[in-house]
A and B are shown apart, each in its own frame.
Chain A
Amino acid sequence: MTQLWDFSGGIHPPEHKDISTARPIRNAGVPDYLVLPLQQHIGDPAEAIVEVGERVLKGQKLADVKTGMGVPVHAPTSGVIESIADFPVPHPSGMADRCITLKPDGEDQWCQRNPVKDYRSLERYQVLHIIRDAGISGMGGAGFPTNIKLRPPRDRKVSTLILNGAECEPYITADDMTMREKADEVVAGLKIMAWILRPERCVIGIEDNKPEAIAALRKATEGTQTEIAVVPTKYPSGGEKQLIQILTGMEVPSGGIPADIGVMCQNIGTAVAVAQAVLEGTPLISRVVTITGEAVREPGNFEALIGTPIEHLLEQAGVNQDAVSRLVLGGPMMGYTLTTEAVPVVKTTNCVIAATAAELPAPPPEQPCIRCGQCAEACPMELLPQQLFWHAKATEFEKAEHLNLFDCIECGACSYVCPSSIPLVQYYRFAKGEIRAQQAEQLKADRARERFEARQARLEREQQEKELRRKERAKAAADAAAKKQAEAEKAADEGEAVDERAAKSALVEQALARKKAKAEASQPPAASAQPAPSAPPAEQKPDIEALEKQLSQAQSKLDTMQGMLDDAKAQQADNVEKLERAVAKNHDRVQRAEEALSEARDKLAAGSTESQPTH
């Protein structure tokens, strides 16, 4: 029996899960067209590598991420690329984004697949490459690229690998049904991930409201070391941080990632995708989606191709168009409403609730907060939701941040229990957004200031150099004048002692001297001007070396920062933003160093060409 811990707070909303577990997983078939967003997960969007009009095979790579964090997108079936354009994508804002539209040709013709029978004979990085190339990103939450997650930094040894089968949100049963029907694949995927990570402990956490799934997994893991941990049903036990606390008693440090405490969580669907990718050579081109709610006649789970319009799935589930009042993508606690059913299924789409007005009624009007503290009782992160609410409402963001606003996981438990029906989560999102915007603004201002200061410094330097040159010129002129005067005086002194003839010749001499002096006077500026252009090159030679050194230093610094950033991204660390800033800064620095170097080189070149004719 696995030892379990409890997390504080939590709620018990009505589950509504039996609506969609009565039928086995159905195949949704091939719709008339498929819409494949180029960005289906956090990180960088993929770039299309196919042309409009091109015929593609099932499983063929359509888009890939060349630089940055991301995974490729594959053709879910064979067909013709119809367009690469903006379409509505699943996003809380209802925005449109770049998508590849594929017109299926009905042949469902596979491309060449390379199944690996014995992955243990490969190197780990090769298996990770297979996982990346299969386009697998986390199928539960934000959709983090799985290959990156499976490669934690060297100093973060994963000792506990958790497969998250809690599925605590009401209505959603995609993981439940997957575990019931594909238990062997779930376990196979888990084994591959365990082989990559070599943890000491493998646990599958499942809420006790899924007895069929528990039984199936118990059977599939018979004779293995994998633990099946049955956790009490309480929302949000499936939250990564909460499940880790339940199964290990440890807390993920604020701002950190589970790998910091030697834990990694993976999703059930991800495990299946990994198994299929490695053992069958099948990329991630379909997933299980729950279609539920009282507005569909035959709710249940569908094996849907990525890119299938939600509309198509709703039709298959027998939607009653007139009864749908709210279309929720995800669960009722954390999902978001859709503006249109035309959006496609993406790699992270787990559930669509077509709810009637009676099922998910509009919340009653907001009443004043009576500080009853029900929210704090429900908060799984042990925050003070009501204080955060007061501060968010008063736009005292500093105070909200001080009370750990950014530790809020937006699970919605506080809003759920609020007797005054205050949309608390919305207030927190607002506060977070405002703070992020302020930070971005601050960053922009800082950069502008830096640039301005750099420019000021450069102008000042130039001014000083100019001043220096001017002074040198003036000094040279003064020297020349002094010399001329001294000579004239000398001549005068000499002239006093000689006769008229001598005086005459002296006059001539004087005139000559004057002339000579004049010539000399005109010479020195040239002479003094000469060192000016020629001196800097002399000084710039070491200068260029210094600049080159500076550049290479900046370059290497940038490289390390980039490396750190990649690592941080790989771990979904909270300091990603900070590192990105640092990288951008270093990037600027390298650029500046490069500019300075090339400027210096130009100057040197110009200096040498200028100084040549005078010699």
Chain B
Amino acid sequence: MRINSYGEKPLSTLEMGMTIVSMLVGVGVLTLPRSVATYTSSFDGWMSILLAGGIALLAGWLVSKVAVRAGNKNFLDYSVTLVGRPFTYLIAALQFSYFLGFCSYETRAIANISKQYLFDRTPVEYISLVFILVVVYGVSGSRSGLLRLNVLFLPSVLIMIVIVVCFGYRWFEFGNLKPFMITPPIGIAQGMKEVIYSLLGFEIILYYIVFMERPEKAPKAVMSGIALTVFIYLVIYQLVIGIFSNIGAMNIVYPTIELAKEIQFPGNFFERFESLFFVIWIMTIYNTAAMGFDLANECLSFLFKRSTKRYRLLIIAPIAYLICMAPGDMSQFATLGNMISYMAMLSGILLPISLLMFGGKKNNKEEKANDKSGA
């Protein structure tokens, strides 16, 4: 990796942590309070969020261990040394489709939401087309520039959340949080599942670790990123329950946006806060989608070594658009989301972790074997 110019300067641990947060905080948080509230009663979803966060932390730690072990090598190259080329092709294909689906899903989600709240008459197809075009533009530039965008955007997202929280407390009713601890364990577990879906995405560390100044600190970056995200979810969740109550949150499609709509600044000076909220939120979703796209491109480059980046992007963009427009209604869209989440678990978490075990046990033997066979 050439790191001469300022823009190519390696990322510090903090910056990598911010990248992880930008990846995790996507469209999930806009609907998260609803999906958690659906399975839990009153305020018990906090347990779901914390437990899911714990699982994500563990998985994140393991995955980043894999990344650290790969060191300066690309994850896929590293996997070649462990399990050989054919199996790695399979992994690459799986991860390619996962990242592609991820990008498409985020695009469609933001297009749906923009259609509902911002653009009444603009067709969804058009909104997502424009969004994908901008994503393609972002991805076709320098990769570490893309990562720096996270560092640029994330603070404004955090400020936005702080504003929502501060002004939202005006309608907060503590009574809505009571009674505590009434959800059966099965409900908590179902809620957990929903939260975990919104915590997927930290596997990007496998690929982005090469940009880090000190790759051995990757686990710390990933874990702090996940922890901050869990904290954000928790804050938004308790605010939504406190304001809309459990059953209200269940029946509001985008509770977090309604939260932003509730906010009124004193003096009616700034009546439509949610438009600002949207602008900022689209920025973070743009980051998420762009990173997904970038990694899909990365996987594809492993599959087709000779292709140039421009052709790869030209291939990926239409596929992403097609996947994005495939779901016809809200329930099909949810199915797409579930499929992508399953793929994330499989290709983003289980596979790397099993590689870790594989690599851990047979590390020496494999390396020798691969040295002979490879080269």
Q: Do A and B come from one complex?
A: no
By a beta-carbon cutoff of 8 Å, the part of chain A in contact with chain B is none
